[in-house]
Structure 1
Amino acid sequence: MLRQIFLSLVVALVIIVAIHLILGNMLVSWNKSQLNELTERSILRMELAADRAVSTIADIHISGLNKCSRGTIEAYRKLIFSVASIKDIRLWDGQQSCAGFNADTVATDLAADSAWESARNPTLQFSASDSADSSRFNIRWTAEEFDIVAVLNSGGLLEDIIPAALRESLSVKVVLNNGRKIASYTPDKPSSGIPAEWEPDFMVSASSERYPITAYAHIPSNILWSWHNFLSLNLEILITLSSIFIGFLTSRVVFGPPDPVNEIDRALVNGEFVPFYQPIFALNSGAMVGFEMLARWKRKNGAMVMPAKFIPLVENFGRVDPLTFSLLRQARHDIVPLLQKDRSLKFTFNVTTDQFLSPIFFIDLQEILIVGKFPLECVVLEITERQQILDLDLARKMVSRYAAKGIRVAIDDAGTGHNGLSSIQTLEAEILKLDKFFIDGIVENQKSRQMVELLCQLAKQYNMAVVAEGIETSEQAAVALAMGIHEAQGFYFSRPVPIAQLLEQMTSDTVKRAVSATPRLLEPPPCAALPELELVKAG
């Protein structure tokens, strides 16, 4: 079972991981394509701004505004106001410089030729701003007689193309081929995943074919797995449950349905079958006079398996001997000290008809009892009625063999099994145990009481002690005692319990007080008249 569960979980885990890897890789691939598209859009924005500036410079040249004069400066200013992306226009006409607004910097801007990058059109050159403001760049048109420079404002060109979901994690910068930055977008509150420097987890780039411009987009790798993530909680739950189901089906194919016999064998090897004990009490005093050992299956996880589910399998598939001997070996440590201290106690346990008739079982049982130092005069074998005794002569001989060793024999479930009353007459057993089936109706059912009276008379005729099983109420205990039954067991007194609770009950007077409070009937009452009986209190 554990191997099947383990395989189911492993298969489910593999499926879940595989699905997430496949969907994750698809998601990452899609997000990478989106980032590539974003860098291309950044390049397109810069190209459009450059195209507008180049067009403006061409208009200036065509209009003859290539000589410094007051009229030229006024014309430049009008152009600056009409084109939002142009911040200033500057001219060097070979003799003097002028500008729409900042004429003092014209000579400086044009002097550093090494800072300029040529475009595909050799008459056009680009440079970054020399100031700390990286949101500006320059485009120069070089002619034989003059140079015109358009200063572009690139600060707002990237803002509106950044997706809202990436505004706290994506960084974009646009640089010239010499590496100088001409535009950028950096989050105001970057997420913890963004490095302080440009050492990217993931970066994509795109370059202009016409201008010396390259755009870079950087994003932490973990954002690639979360951006556009369509795996909702409901879908995650569906994937998990589906994977577990597929894992379960796979384990069923590999291992097949669990074999109950193999489970029992494993439980025997692992020591999962443990002895519980149901005390037997004297009905007239409440004193404990013995206890019946019963098998309980306690799995390693603490779950209890009901006896009705495993006892038939144990008996039908030949596991009853290993179970019986395993319980006796454990009971050796629990019960032997009690029996050696008080040899009037009875220690009873069930054996099947096949076990009882087997000479090999007789030898093996005797060895276990002797090695375990069980006082044999305390031991009582209860022959169950679930199997028919086919050889009554052999059964009678086995009773004698057990009696010769001091071991007594009881007939369990009397009157309910395959052997009927013949076993009472033939076996010469010493104890007759009345089944709960008859005890349940002993108070109100006339037929049940008549059957109990018949069994008690037969037991008395064959000198057998009678024990009532399944006593659950004080009324049942009172009627049983009035009918001459002196010993009983059942939930009214105690359920089957582990050894620790049995030891507590042996030192407690709870049952004695309950028995003392049980009414004493002068005689078994008529079934219909029980509430009106005269009662004699004990003590």
Structure 2
Amino acid sequence: MVNKKAIKLVVVTCCLVIAGVPPLAFVRYLENHAVYSAEETLGDYAGRMVDHLEVTIDEGVLALTDLAANGVMACDSAAIDAMRRAIFDTYVLREIAVVDSDGNTVCADTIFKTERWTLSRQDTVNRAIDVSVVTDEQTFMRSLALRYRPSEDRALVAHFAPNSLGLDVLPDRWRSAGLARLTLLDGTEFQTVPNRIDTAFEQTGDMIGAMAVSNRYPLSVDVRVDRETVMRDYESLKAYALVAMSIFASIVLGVAVFIARQRPSASDDISQGLRAGEFIPYYQPVINLNTGRLEGCEVLVRRRRRDGTIQSPAAFIAQAEADGQIVPLTRQLMRLTIDDLGACYARRRGMSVAFNLCAHHFTNDQIVRDVEAIFAESPISPSQLILEVTERFPLDDTATAVRVIADLQAVGAKVALDDAGTGHSGLAMLHRLGMDIVKIDKLFIDPIQADTKNAPIVDSLVDLAKKLGMSVIAEGVETLDQVNYLRSHGVDSAQGYLFAPPLPAASYIALVEAMGSVSEEAEEPKTGMVA
């Protein structure tokens, strides 16, 4: 409980301070609050625009990969018809063409026949896909070009319809003095929302803005509004604020109510949860696709609050990563996993257990010291560990990351690249980082169906991993058709709701006992046995 004397002291202090604050200072506070609120709102608008762009480009990627899978690269009449159908089936694409390695058109749908100027370098999304900014030589309208390269000698290029890219979310009161600029990460602009020719209001420099950057594609959205327009919304509030300064009793009551109802910050809430032991591990089984045997699991954190409710990581993991509490949280999960699985894994040395790490873990060697201290004398040996680092967020210091990965492998653990193909590092970084395992993201598994002949991104990931001597695991597997495709294309292992959801410790141990996955002899884990 909050100490009553402390409450009284805070209330009295606040009242004295507020009583001595000049009216102009309070007005200044309101102006700062207006700027903060506007920045927060603009940040939300920018995020929504980025989400819309990602969905639009996803639709283009799916259209091109489907065309390539259906033989459009042959450039016969059936291929031309297929490209035309793709244009009509989706509103986001305006033109599609097959080009050679030099960028010359081999064949195209003949609907528009317009020439384009490329204004930006081609930003690579992954090994097979890149985007660039182009301009129509007739209308001078800018748009995005998407290139998909299923082979070295030919590629599919699609131009997006300009009106499919921008999402006009600015409110009416800001529209005349606001602008959203859509650009690639190299700074090349491909659209403004609303579309403007006259952007002179931007030259004043007195703007309020926010930016959002896509985690999946090389693009960003910068939203700005004239400061004077924002402040106009707060003119009436200034007058009311000056009047309110004289109502001392109301201020006292407001401060008292605020203190009484104040809740801990998100960061403090996580700290309290760590101290109370509310974060617990769940275990998602990993199955060998060739043998059907259970190989191990991935540890996924949940929060069990005092009232018994279970929270998913979405409720707290971003905050834990932002303020660095992910490090003690990971440490706590490792110790709890030993308590849960130690006896079971001590008799099954071929079983593995995987923990998720984030970019923060690779800024210094703390994670190496933690693994050595926690697992050196534990029933679970370091050789049974797999440590996963996601590709969705960049490793700021690659040299340090390479050293940390090598040190973890020296201890005996394996290191996996999680969410492969979705993020910042690019597959070319796999060899440099020295990973042992590649995990294919659910995003690329979902499109696989019974009639799927090719899944270009999955096939590319598997091919590269095999060439680098790495094992491959597929995440988010939900159908037998996906299992059959993945097995036939060289994927070693899989996890997903087809096999089992993340399980509490007792359920997972019961599954291990029931499946008899690995003999109880003290054997070392094999390279293909991953989680």
Task: Give the alignment's TM-score, normalised by structure 1.
Answer: 0.47
- Which structure's relative contact order is higher, taking Cα pairs within 8 Å and 6+ residues apart? 2
TM-score for both structures, normalised by structure 2 = 0.47
